[in-house]
Amino acid sequence: MKEYISPHCRIQGCAGSERCRNAVIENDPILEKISLEAKKIEASSNHSNVSESKILSHRLFSASASFCPNACSRPQITDFGIIAASIVNITDAGCTGCNACIESCREDAIRFKTPVNPEIIREKCLHCGSCSTACPTGTISSSKTGYRIFIGGMMGRHPMLAAELPDIYDRDSVIELFKICFGIYNDHFYSGLRFRNMILRYPEKLPLSLREIFLTALNGEFHIKSDTAEQQRSVTPSEGNYR
Ligand code: SF4
Ligand code: SF4
Ligand code: SF4
């Protein structure tokens, strides 16, 4: 497990490709990148009159990244969780009907329209990429990698699992979302609220473009996964009110 701790934030990550063959992204720098952003946000904030040594560890904003859906670093119980995703698609390469993809899929997310005509069941797919690794012909192929994002997980008196945002996000978008979420938390660090409760109580702190997406996810009204790489959501810096 990797860990980066700054005065108001704890960022953890699973072993990733350095030690685990399940990782869907090789040598992913996302942990280092968001940890750098956390330090920048803290450095530009106005909390210098409070002794950092008095901050209890459970008050830190928690972020965690796992590099496959096994989620060893438990992103679902953090304020901001990341799970790497491999977006698999069916290509024009001829299928031999060897069934290696079916055997590799633990989610039962592949079916055949004919014995040589596979199809991904998107609602079941967890984007682990195992089928594309197993396929000898390239009929099932990973066209892109990205990240699933989870917000608002917490333990304590009323534990809640994090809510998954819709779609798969590219790395830059994950970093922008992290900056927005941690920026809000850091600005109101001494409110005593966890990130989930902060957003539910004061949704106006979110940029308008994200308000409905976050609230709908936190209220558990939908859970959508992307169909194709083209559906990756982008978040541009101009949408954020982070520092
Ligand atoms: S989450 Fe996946 S990639 Fe990370 S250590 Fe666990 S099995 Fe390996
Ligand atoms: S990427 Fe989706 S379809 Fe392929 S093995 Fe993983 S869960 Fe199954
Ligand atoms: S898609 Fe690939 S792994 Fe699956 S049956 Fe066809 S050739 Fe085999």
Q: In the predicted model, is pLDDT for residue 201 greater than 70?
A: yes
Query: Which one of 1.20.1440.120, 2.40.160.40, 1.10.3720.10, 3.30.413.10 gives the CATH number of domain 2-84+145-239?
Result: 3.30.413.10
- Give the span between the Cα atoms of 105 and 121, in whole angstroms: 11
CATH number 3.30.300.130 is the correct assignment for the domain at 88-143: no
**How is residue 9 written in tokens?**
């934030």
Instruction: Give the tens place of pLDDT for each residue, 12-54.
Output: 999 999 999 999 999 999 999 999 999 999 998 876 555 566 6
- Mutation choice for ligand 2 from 110, 122, 141, 143, CB with most ligand atoms inside 8 A: 110
Structure confidence at residue 143 as a pLDDT band (50, 70, 90): confident
Cα atoms in the Cβ-side hemisphere of radius 13 Å centred on 206? 22
Domain ranges of the chain: 2-84+145-239, 88-143
Ligand 3 center to 99 CA (angstroms): 5
> Is 94 in contact with 103 (CB distance < 8 Å)?
no
Alpha-carbon span 196 to 176, nearest angstrom:
18
Same fold, 2-84+145-239 and 88-143: no
Q: Is the pTM of this model over 0.75?
A: yes
| Local structure of 119: helix, strand or coil | strand
* pLDDT at residue 89 in the model: 96
Distance CA 235, CA 4 (A): 24
- Residues 80-102 have pLDDT tens digits of 999 999 999 999 999 999 999 99
